[in-house]
């Protein structure tokens, strides 16, 4: 374990919404300007603190979806139906609004730029957000398997298509649609299964590291399947998004 | 307490006497069939968070709930979220074993039938995850760590918990003694599910829940402190939710 985990500033800092992008019906990316922000390691998250006029506060953690740059970061948030913070971030916040963040945080579910191993990135639903940071910052071969309910729920669709078509072939992208597939899609809608994983898994001698992020059931299934088909459990890193992430 | 075989110069004996008054900060109702002891809801002064900055978030109202008993920076959930760093290990009960290993290499082990024949406690406790959710009144059955250490001779001051799958987490020994910690194998009256740490997990509710190691395999008694998995990856070495000890610098 690297003792040199990248630790963020642990003081709360004001973040100003610079822009907002709708990613899906209930998901949005907020672009945040933060003075003195020095960047992050792909996979890390930030704590968000919202403060109501009467002083009441609410806190949640959100993964960073952007590539590391100084002074700016992006979080991509899926609204949770009965959530407290996510509906604000998805439906209410506008450019110029402020809240506080703390971070970047997390020293395990991270892909360091100097890690030479190829990566298998497996995302379920909004769990693709931290993987998107890894895709955007990837300097080494990466394969993204993205499981999502339907094309209209899928995040980052256009950008992932462009990335996958890039001439360098650095990042391969595969979608699995669980409820509704696009017209002409070769596979019927289905849950992530061994067949889908077998198409993207790296050969055993590639010493690949797998990052799995999504709702608990998805992460359990994907990690179990990876172990079943021979992936070293020690090289599978998981992070879970649940409905309580709201 | 009683039942411990402690060397005469053991520095923890002095600290043990303070438990029950110094512990406060989580409310715990322990229902021991034997009626031997029981925790009580000890009210504790709760330290405030750091000084507030004047950033009011326009358009945010919040949904207030009864936040009594909620440590700073936590929110209450009624779900039971799952967090772990890797795949869920699957351990057959026929191969399962729990060990206590002392600093001199002494080793006590329990097979599953031996372990589940030990006296148990029912513990109803609040749990607090560093990812900011807290769940109130969770109901467990397990073996008190006091019971596992009853016949162990040690001068150790620290413990590293080892899990199937390779996870580790560390404690001062005194934090696992005197009715504060269990090796739990039932949740809500049912066998503990693998995803929540079954067959058996550590339950240390007065610390952030990453300290309650899932898939427990061994307790290693040590003279020195050795930071575990999350403790070397940026998380606080002790992890008291009431002092909001989330990360190294907290």
End-of-domain residue from the set A83, A105, A127 = A105
Whether residue A99 and residue B57 make contact (CB cut-off 8 A), yes or no, is yes
Residue B61 distance to chain A (closest CA, Å): 5
Q: In this structure, is residue A198 part of a structural domain?
A: yes
Residues of A in contact with B56 (CB under 8 A): 51-53
Q: Answer yes or no: is B126 within a domain.
A: yes
Quick check: is B123 in a domain? yes
Does A14 reach chain B within 8 Å, measured CB to CB? yes
* Cβ–Cβ contact A236 with B under 8 A: yes
pLDDT in the model for residue B144: 97
Contact present, B242 and B213 (Cβ < 8 Å) = no
Residues A92 and A134 placed together within one structural domain of the fold = no
pLDDT of A9 reads: 54
> Do A143 and A227 lie in a common domain?
yes
Chain A residues 98-127 with CB within 8 Å of chain B? 98-100, 105-109
Q: In chain A, pLDDT over 70 holds for what percent of residues? A: 94
Does position B44 have pLDDT exceeding 80, yes or no?
A: no
Count: domains in chain A: 2
Q: Nearest by CB to B86, which of A6, A14, A237?
A: A237
CB pairs under 8 A between A and B: 124
Compute the mean pLDDT over every residue in chain A, rounded to the nearest whole number: 91
One DSSP character per residue, B94-124 reads: TT-EEEEE-TTS-EEEEEHHHHHTS--EEEE
Give the structural domain span for A24. Answer: 9-105
Residues of A in Cβ contact (< 8 Å) with B133: 244
Same domain, A90 and A136: no
Task: Check residue B174 and report its DSSP letter.
Answer: G
Mean pLDDT of chain B: 80
Residue B15, burial from CB neighbour count under 10 angstroms (0-12, 13-18, 19+) = middle
Q: What is the pLDDT of residues A144-185, one digit of tens each?
A: 999 999 999 999 999 999 999 998 889 999 999 999 999 999
- Pair A100, A123 in one domain: no
Whether residue B168 lies inside any domain: the answer is: yes
Judge: A59–B132 Cβ closer than 8 Å, yes or no: yes
pLDDT of residue A242: 53
% of chain B exceeding 70 in pLDDT: 77
pLDDT at B66: 65
Query: Does the structure show a pLDDT above 50 at A240?
Result: yes
So what's the pLDDT on residue B202?
A: 98
pLDDT of residue B10: 28
> What CATH code is carried by the domain that includes residue B224?
3.90.420.10
- Does residue A193 sit in the same domain as residue A101? no
ipTM of the complex: 0.70
Buried-state track B40-71, b at ≥16 Cβ within 10 A, e below 16: eeeeeeeeeeeeeeebebeebebeeeeeebbb
Q: Which of B55, B74, B248 sits opposite A100 (nearest CB)?
A: B55
At residue B105, does pLDDT exceed 80?
A: yes
A118: pLDDT strictly greater than 60: yes
In this structure, of B80-89, B109-118, B179-188, the range with the lowest mean pLDDT score is B80-89
CA–CA min distance B138, chain A (Å) = 17
Average pLDDT of A178-205? 92
Mutation for testing the A interface, residue in B58, B71, B76, B79 having most A CBs under 10 Å: B58
Among A57, A81, A105, residue at a domain's last position: A105
Task: Judge whether residue A61 has pLDDT over 60.
Answer: yes
A1, part of any domain: no
CATH code, A71: 2.40.30.10
Q: What is the pLDDT of residue B67?
A: 67
**Contact between chains at A92 and B250 (C-beta distance less than 8 A):** no
Residue at which a domain ends, from A77, A105, A133: A105
Selected residue with higher pLDDT from B63 and A242: B63
Torsion of CA B74, B78, B80, B84, to 10 degrees: -20
Looking at A101-110, A160-169, A204-213, B12-21, which range is the least confident one? Answer: B12-21
Among A6, A84, A93, beta carbon nearest to B63: A84
Query: Bridge-partner residues for A29, per DSSP?
Result: A21, A76
Position B56 in a domain: no
B241 domain-assigned: yes
Contact state of B233 with A108 under an 8 Å Cβ cutoff = yes
Per-residue pLDDT averaged across B215-234, rounded?
95
Does residue A128 share a domain with residue A101?
A: no
B:151-210 residues touching chain A, CB 8 A cutoff: 165-166, 195
Provide, as residue numbers in chain A, all residues whose Cβ is less than 8 Å from the Cβ of B233. Answer: 1-2, 5, 106-108
Answer yes or no: do A92 and A128 share one domain: no
Q: Which residues 72-101 of A have a C-beta within 8 angstroms of B?
A: 84, 88, 92-94, 97-100
| CB-based contact, B22 to chain A, within 8 Å | no
Please judge whether A223 and B86 are an interchain contact, meaning their C-beta atoms are less than 8 angstroms apart.
yes
Confidence label for B83 from pLDDT (cuts 50, 70 and 90): confident
Q: How many domains does chain B have?
A: 1
A88, A132: one domain: no
- Give me the pLDDT at residue A182, please: 93
Would you say residue B49 lies in a domain?
no
Contact B59 A59 (CB under 8 A): no
Q: Which domain holds residue B127?
A: 33-41+70-77+96-250
Q: Are residues A129 and A233 in the same domain?
A: yes
Res. B51: pLDDT tops 70: no
The CATH number covering residue A220 comes to 3.40.50.80
Whether residues A181 and A226 share a domain: the answer is yes
pLDDT of residue B54: 66
Contact (Cβ atoms closer than 8 angstroms) between residue A36 and residue A16: no
The first and second tokens of residue A127, run together, are: 């769990």
Question: Are A236 and A227 contacting, i.e. CB atoms less than 8 angstroms apart?
Answer: yes
Examine the pLDDT at A193 and tell me if it is beyond 60.
yes
Cβ B62–A56 below 8 Å, yes or no? yes
Which tens digits make up the pLDDT trace of B8-18?
222 222 222 22
User: Are residues A130 and A33 both part of a single domain?
Assistant: no
* A126 and A232 inside one domain: yes
In this prediction, residue B78 carries a pLDDT of: 83
Q: Do A220 and B88 touch (CB under 8 A)?
A: yes
pLDDT for B124 equals: 95
Chain A contacts of B64, Cβ < 8 Å? Answer: 56
User: For residue A226, which residues of chain B lie inside 8 Å, CB to CB?
Assistant: 87
Taken in order B153, B157, B161, B162, the sign of the CA dihedral is negative
Q: Do B56 and A59 touch (CB under 8 A)?
A: no
- Band the pLDDT of B243: cuts 50, 70, 90: very high
């Amino acid at each position: 374990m690297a003792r040199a985990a990248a630790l963020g500033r642990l003081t709360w800092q004001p973040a100003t919404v610079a822009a907002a992008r709708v990613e899906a019906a209930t998901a949005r990316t907020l672009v945040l300007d933060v003075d003195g922000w020095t960047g992050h390691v792909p996979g890390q998250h930030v704590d968000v603190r919202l403060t109501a006029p009467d002083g009441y506060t609410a806190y949640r953690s959100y993964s960073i979806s952007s590539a590391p740059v100084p002074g700016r970061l992006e979080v991509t948030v899926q609204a949770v139906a009965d959530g407290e913070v996510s509906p604000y971030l998805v439906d209410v916040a506008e450019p110029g609004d402020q809240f506080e963040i703390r971070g970047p945080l997390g020293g395990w579910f991270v892909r360091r730029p100097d890690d030479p191993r190829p990566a298998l990135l497996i995302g379920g639903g909004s769990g693709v957000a931290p993987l998107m940071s890894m895709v955007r910052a990837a300097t080494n071969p990466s394969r993204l398997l993205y499981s999502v309910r339907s094309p209209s729920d899928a995040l980052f669709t256009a950008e992932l298509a462009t990335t996958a078509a890039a001439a360098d072939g650095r990042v391969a992208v595969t979608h699995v649609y669980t409820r509704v597939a696009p017209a002409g899609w070769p596979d019927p809608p289905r849950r992530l299964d061994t067949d889908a994983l077998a198409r993207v898994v790296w050969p055993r001698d590639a010493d690949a590291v797998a990052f799995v992020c999504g709702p608990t059931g998805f992460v359990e299934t994907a990690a179990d399947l990876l172990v079943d088909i021979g992936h070293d459990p020690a090289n599978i890193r998981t992070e879970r998004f649940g409905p309580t992430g709201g | 307490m009683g039942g411990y075989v402690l060397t005469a110069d053991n520095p923890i004996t002095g600290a043990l006497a303070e438990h029950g008054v110094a512990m406060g900060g989580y409310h715990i109702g322990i229902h021991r069939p034997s009626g031997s002891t029981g925790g009580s809801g000890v009210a504790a002064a709760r330290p405030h968070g750091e000084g507030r900055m004047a950033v009011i978030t326009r358009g945010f109202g919040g949904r207030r709930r009864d936040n009594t008993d909620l440590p700073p920076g936590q929110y209450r959930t009624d779900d039971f979220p799952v967090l772990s760093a890797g795949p869920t290990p699957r351990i057959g009960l026929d191969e399962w074993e729990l060990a206590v290993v002392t600093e001199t290499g002494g080793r006590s082990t329990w097979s599953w039938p031996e372990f589940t024949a030990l006296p148990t406690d029912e513990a109803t406790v609040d749990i607090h995850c560093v990812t900011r959710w807290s769940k109130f009144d969770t109901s467990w059955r397990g073996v008190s760590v006091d019971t596992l250490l009853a016949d162990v001779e040690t001068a150790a001051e620290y413990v590293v918990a080892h899990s199937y799958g390779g996870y580790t987490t560390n404690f001062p020994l005194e934090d696992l003694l005197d009715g504060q910690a269990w090796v739990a194998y039932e949740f809500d009256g049912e066998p503990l599910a693998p995803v929540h740490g079954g067959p058996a997990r550590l339950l240390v509710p007065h610390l952030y829940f990453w300290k309650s190691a899932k898939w427990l395999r061994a307790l290693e008694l040590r003279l020195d402190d050795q930071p575990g998995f999350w403790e070397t990856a940026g998380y606080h070495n002790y992890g008291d939710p009431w002092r909001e000890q989330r990360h190294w610098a907290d």
